[in-house]
Amino acid sequence: GEDVEQSLFLSVREGDSSVINCTYTDSSSTYLYWYKQEPGAGLQLLTYIFSNMDMKQDQRLTVLLNKKDKHLSLRIADTQTGDSAIYFCAESILTTSGTYKYIFGTGTRLKDLA
């Protein structure tokens, strides 16, 4: 089945690390993504990881993938006010028609407590 779950809310203090978790069910995922959405805006791609990797680091962002447990996480180091947004994980799966489509998670609202 196609199901991607995230916790709804996360509050952190400015300067601390934020860890946003995501679980998915479709084992055929090829790529997994993290997107950021600010109020009333579209989605901004933050980073992505290929399904045969277990970690990817990009400046303040660290993505961990546990394929066995179908668990993906995003760690944001030194969380700032500008990081407050909704974060969506998404998996890319190959459809029967041969194209890739995204399945989005439920989104985690990150709030920075200054």
Partner 1 sequence: GAVVSQHPSRVICKSGTSVKIECRSLDFQATTMFWYRQFPKQSLMLMATSNEGSKATYEQGVEKDKFLINHASLTLSTLTVTSAHPEDSSFYICSARASDRVFHEQYFGPGTRLTVT
Residues at the contact surface with partner 1, assessed by CB under 8 A: 30-31, 35, 40-45, 48, 88, 92, 97, 99-107
Query: Could you give the residue ranges of the DSSP H alpha helices within 1-114?
Result: none
What is the rounded end-to-end Cα distance, in angstroms, of the chain?
Answer: 40
Using DSSP's 3-state secondary structure scheme, residue 88 falls into strand
Return the number of the residue (32 or 76) whose C-beta is nearest partner 1.
32
Is the CB of 76 or the CB of 105 nearer to partner 1?
Answer: 105
Least distance (Å) from partner 1 to the CB of residue 45? 7
Sort residue 31 into left (φ over 0), alpha (ψ -120 to 50) or beta: beta
Q: How far is the CB of 31 from partner 1 (least distance, A)?
A: 5
